[in-house]
């Protein structure tokens, strides 16, 4: 038995999970750490002969479990490609934000983590969620964000409390994940139980009454099993960006059979957001006769919130996952995951606008600001089943690394409309997500000098009605092979087919009532739209790896994006075919001589055909025939010296152009042919350094830069470029207790963080935070 297991493990040495070898030891022997493992192995045969008849069998792990990225800014492996792979073996650019980076800079949300990757910009439209642009192309919130490789399509403000890392795949991702955008994909990797006892509690206090407590508890429960629980509670009055925070989360995971032929994981995740919301601030002109290109930011503090005290952005995310990995002989494993998710969202927001004729020349504390209404109530339920096979083998005289799999998905979304502010007249009509009725909820105006004035309306008297619902079923199958054709050369080829069927129902209502008497809503009919999509996605690439330090690659990949990604079909987009795109990339990944520092370079050209843009405020599909972006990326991460660790991400896009703009029925362009695409700065970069002064003190400093960029639909002006600075100092009392101080946006820079044609969301002002961490 012991000999058979030992042979099996030697054949599986390249698997990522720890393997086991059975030897004989004393009854009190425990799981040995890596350092003692070698000594135990050297005496194994002698020990077996002496004690064969008297001692029980225990397990010795051949490899200690390591959470890569927990104590380093650098990552060398990823699972964003479905199987565990080295970054150097993927002919496409990937940037990893590790747990160390998130801890160092106090990155509490996924949006904050993504800001540490160059090329990322954010559109301000729906409020709260990650409305991302990468390389100037939109990443669909409903199609390009994943958790542990499984689609995470809901709208909610994602937290980092249970994340081991955030991975950003740049370029086409449809061959691996199915429908998706041109820009890439975001994969959030949850923490998993490990074979050790390790617990940590972090308590953070800061400006704007910021309070955050995070607990991470890992307990080994058996020879090959462990339990891990993470919990979080965060509150803040304002957080420097004009909106309050009140959220809590818990995640639990139990893993058994770790490192054995059959490994299982059962996990449950729950996040509750009960936050305020700053929907944004209007742009303003210097004078009434200024050109549109001169439009700029309001000269007010980023802590100013002109919304209502009754505005809020509540939501929940709940999902349960079951996973099973079977390890075959050799280097082959099959992983199957099943996930059931349920998500809710209830947003009541105010759209702030200037009154007519206001500009900087007459702007003052008595300038009037109006408050419109942007409400969103949505529920989403999802079921995903996916199974992925990874295998390494020799065939036809060549080395193969095969990835293949199948996935099935069902998504159901229900959208509710809620009464808007009062409109006089009888038999007012309900259309889309806005009910027009006399409910006495007209929002009062406010003034620049009376931010946070406490005014509110009674949101409880807005009864929600189901306005539309969407159901889709989808399946996909893919296969990819990385073949070593010569000593230093590998070729990649992949193909995937997706089928998606969607049904969208719009419920029509009418309202009876008048200006003084509340009336009734009655449903007058249902309009149905259907979508049937079948698409192929391709991926090819070549790798040249002259040694273990260098890897050069070329890749070409396609992607497609359907109308159903936004869960909204209608007369304007029901028959619109999927967007098609192609990404070309030439790049390199090079390690330093000591392999402690890695640089990544990439030249890319991304092209989208028949681009579809949906304006969420008026729900109109807009197609621009073609656009492209060409640029250069550079990442570096790792230890420059044993004391000095650095991370940097840089992107330069000198060439970006709308090649063929969509012509509206009236003949006007939303984005004119020849213009630079919106939300596409020429230069964006981020830098973070830490230096270990001595055994107790460690300091850090970094910069975030984003160049000038236009809001969506290119309204004629640019948000100005900005650079913010962050600093950190950490003092280690002993192995258990550490204190850390952070100051973000050190100079209190005023800037537009998220952009929309009618408004922008200001970036957070200066934040000062102190964190105490206790390990036990």
Mean pLDDT of 291-316: 91
Convert 160-171 to b/e letters by CB count within 10 Å (16 or more is b): bbbbbbbbbbbb
Distance CA 128, CA 142 (A): 14
Radius of gyration of the chain (CA): 27
The answer to whether 180 touches 156, Cβ cutoff 8 Å, is: no
Residue 667 has pLDDT above 80, yes or no: no
Residue 91 has pLDDT above 90, yes or no: yes
Residue 427, class by beta-carbon neighbours within 10 Å (0-12 exposed, 13-18 middle, 19+ buried)?
Answer: exposed
Distance CA 710, CA 717 (A): 6
Return the CATH number of 75-447+459-773, one of 3.30.450.20, 1.10.3470.10, 2.40.170.20, 2.20.25.90: 2.40.170.20
Residue 493 has pLDDT above 90, yes or no: yes
Residue 160 has pLDDT above 60, yes or no: yes
- pLDDT (0 to 100) of residue 509: 75
- pLDDT (0 to 100) of residue 754: 93
Nearest to 152 by CA among 536, 474, 411: 411
- pLDDT (0 to 100) of residue 569: 72
Mean pLDDT of 577-604: 94
DSSP, collapsed to helix, strand or coil, labels residue 5 as helix
Arithmetic mean of pLDDT over the chain: 84
- pLDDT (0 to 100) of residue 699: 98
Condensed to tens digits (0 to 9), the pLDDT of residues 707-720 reads: 999 998 788 889 99
- pLDDT (0 to 100) of residue 128: 53
Distance CA 93, CA 183 (A): 11
Distance CA 631, CA 651 (A): 7
- pLDDT (0 to 100) of residue 67: 60
Residue 39 has pLDDT above 60, yes or no: no
Mean pLDDT of 732-750: 97
Residue 535 has pLDDT above 50, yes or no: yes
Percentage of the residues of the chain whose pLDDT score is greater than 70: 82
Query: Which range among 331-340, 526-535, 559-568, 682-691 shows the weakest confidence by mean pLDDT?
Result: 559-568
Percentage of the residues of the chain whose pLDDT score is greater than 90: 64
Q: Which two tokens stand for residue 262?
A: 């059959």
Nearest to 226 by CA among 201, 188, 258: 258
Condensed to tens digits (0 to 9), the pLDDT of residues 217-244 reads: 999 999 999 999 999 999 999 877 888 9
Condensed to tens digits (0 to 9), the pLDDT of residues 598-628 reads: 999 999 999 988 766 544 444 445 555 788 9
Flag whether the pTM goes above 0.75.
Answer: yes
For 589, half-sphere exposure in the C-beta direction (CA atoms, 13 angstrom radius) is 27
Q: Which two tokens stand for residue 292?
A: 């549109």
Residue 519 has pLDDT above 70, yes or no: no
Longest dimension (CA), the chain: 97
Distance CA 86, CA 174 (A): 20
Highest mean pLDDT among 275-289, 335-349, 522-536: 335-349
Mean pLDDT of 651-679: 78
Q: Which two tokens stand for residue 706?
A: 């984003």
682 or 436, greater pLDDT: 682
pLDDT band at 518 (very low <50, low <70, confident <90, very high): low
- pLDDT (0 to 100) of residue 308: 92
pLDDT band at 18 (very low <50, low <70, confident <90, very high): very low
Q: Which two tokens stand for residue 315?
A: 């939501």
- pLDDT (0 to 100) of residue 430: 39
pLDDT band at 419 (very low <50, low <70, confident <90, very high): low
Mean pLDDT of 420-429: 40
Mean pLDDT of 74-94: 89
Place of tokens 């980023």: 302
Mean pLDDT of 58-78: 69
Domain extents for the chain? 75-447+459-773
- pLDDT (0 to 100) of residue 81: 73
- pLDDT (0 to 100) of residue 624: 55
- pLDDT (0 to 100) of residue 701: 98
Condensed to tens digits (0 to 9), the pLDDT of residues 250-266 reads: 999 999 999 999 999 99
Q: Which two tokens stand for residue 278?
A: 């700053």
Mean pLDDT of 158-178: 94
- pLDDT (0 to 100) of residue 587: 97
Q: Which two tokens stand for residue 149?
A: 């490789």
593 or 292, greater pLDDT: 593
Q: At how many degrees (to 10) do helices 44-51 and 34-42 cross? A: 60
- pLDDT (0 to 100) of residue 142: 72
The answer to whether 106 touches 99, Cβ cutoff 8 Å, is: no
Q: Which two tokens stand for residue 129?
A: 């969620």
- pLDDT (0 to 100) of residue 427: 36
Condensed to tens digits (0 to 9), the pLDDT of residues 304-360 reads: 999 999 999 999 999 999 999 999 998 999 999 999 999 999 999 999 999 888 899
* End-to-end CA, the chain: 37
């Amino acid at each position: 038995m012991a000999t058979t297991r030992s042979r099996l493990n030697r054949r599986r040495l390249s698997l990522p999970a720890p393997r086991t070898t059975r030897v004989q030891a004393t009854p009190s022997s425990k799981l040995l750490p890596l350092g003692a493992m070698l000594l135990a192995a050297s005496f194994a045969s002698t020990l077996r002969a002496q004690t064969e008849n008297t001692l029980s069998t225990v397990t010795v792990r051949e490899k200690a479990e390591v959470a890569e990225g927990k104590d380093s800014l650098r990552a060398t492996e990823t699972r964003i490609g479905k199987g565990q792979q080295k970054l150097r073996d993927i002919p496409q650019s990937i940037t990893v934000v590790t747990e160390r980076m998130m801890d160092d800079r106090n990155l509490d949300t996924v949006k904050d983590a993504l800001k540490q990757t160059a090329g990322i910009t954010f559109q301000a439209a729906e409020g709260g969620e990650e409305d991302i642009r990468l390389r100037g192309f939109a990443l669909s919130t409903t199609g390009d964000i994943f958790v542990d490789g499984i689609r995470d399509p809901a709208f909610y403000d994602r937290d980092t409390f249970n994340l081991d890392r955030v991975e950003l795949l740049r370029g086409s991702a449809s061959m691996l994940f199915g429908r998706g955008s041109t820009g890439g994909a975001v994969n959030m990797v949850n923490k998993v139980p490990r074979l050790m006892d390790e617990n940590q509690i972090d308590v953070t206090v800061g400006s704007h009454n910021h309070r955050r407590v995070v607990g991470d508890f890992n307990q080994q429960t058996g020879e090959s099993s462990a339990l891990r629980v993470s919990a979080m509670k965060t509150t803040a009055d304002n957080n420097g960006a004009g909106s309050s925070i009140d959220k809590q989360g818990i995640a639990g995971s139990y893993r058994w059979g770790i490192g054995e032929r059959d490994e299982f994981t059962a996990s449950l995740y729950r996040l509750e957001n009960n936050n305020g919301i700053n929907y944004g601030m209007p742009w303003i002109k210097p004078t009434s006769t200024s050109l549109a290109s001169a439009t700029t930011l309001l000269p007010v503090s980023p802590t100013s919130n002109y919304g209502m005290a009754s505005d809020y952005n509540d939501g929940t995310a709940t999902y349960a996952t079951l996973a099973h990995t079977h390890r075959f002989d050799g280097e082959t494993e099959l992983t199957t995951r099943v996930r059931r998710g349920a998500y809710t969202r209830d947003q009541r927001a105010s759209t702030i606008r200037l009154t007519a004729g206001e500009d900087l020349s007459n702007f003052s504390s008595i300038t009037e600001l109006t408050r419109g209404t942007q409400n969103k109530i949505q529920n989403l339920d999802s079921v995903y089943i996916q199974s992925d096979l990874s295998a390494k083998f020799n065939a036809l005289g060549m080395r193969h690394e095969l990835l293949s799999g199948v996935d099935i998905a069902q998504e159901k979304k229900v959208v509710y409309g809620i009464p808007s502010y009062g409109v006089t007249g009888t038999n007012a009509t309900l259309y889309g997500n806005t009910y027009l009725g006399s409910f006495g909820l007209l929002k009062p105006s406010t003034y620049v000098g009376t931010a946070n004035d406490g005014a509110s309306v009674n949101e409880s008297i807005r009864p929600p009605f189901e306005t539309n619902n969407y159901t889709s079923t989808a399946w996909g199958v893919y296969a990819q092979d990385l073949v070593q054709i010569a000593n230093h050369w590998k070729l990649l080829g992949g193909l995937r087919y997706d089928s998606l069927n969607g049904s969208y129902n719009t419920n029509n209502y009418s309202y009876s009532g008048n200006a003084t008497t509340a009336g009734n809503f009655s449903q007058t009919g249902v309009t149905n739209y259907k979508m049937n999509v079948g698409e192929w996605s391709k991926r090819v690439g070549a790798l040249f790896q002259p040694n273990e330090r260098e890897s050069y690659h070329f890749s070409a990949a396609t992607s497609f994006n359907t109308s159903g990604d936004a869960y909204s079909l209608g007369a304007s987009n029901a028959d619109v075919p999927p967007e098609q795109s192609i990404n070309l990339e030439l790049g390199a990944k090079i390690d330093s001589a000591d392999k402690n520092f890695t640089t990544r370079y990439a030249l890319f050209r991304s092209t989208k055909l028949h681009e579809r843009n949906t304006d969420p405020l008026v729900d109109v599909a807009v197609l621009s025939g073609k656009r492209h972006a060409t640029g250069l990326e550079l990442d570096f991460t790792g230890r420059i010296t044993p004391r000095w660790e650095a991370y940097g991400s840089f992107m330069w896009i000198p060439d970006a152009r709308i090649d063929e703009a969509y012509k509206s029925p009236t003949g006007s362009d939303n984005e004119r042919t020849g213009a630079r695409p919106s939300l596409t700065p020429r230069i964006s970069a981020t830098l973070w350094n830490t230096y270990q002064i001595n055994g107790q003190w460690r300091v850090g400093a970094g910069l975030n830069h984003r160049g000038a960029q236009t809001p969506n639909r290119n309204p004629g002006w640019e948000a100005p470029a900005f650079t913010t600075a962050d600093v950190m100092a950490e003092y280690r009392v002993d192995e258990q207790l550490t204190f850390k101080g952070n100051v973000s946006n050190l100079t209190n820079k005023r800037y537009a963080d998220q952009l929309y044609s009618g408004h922008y969301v200001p970036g957070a002002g200066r934040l000062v935070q102190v964190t105490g961490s206790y390990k036990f």
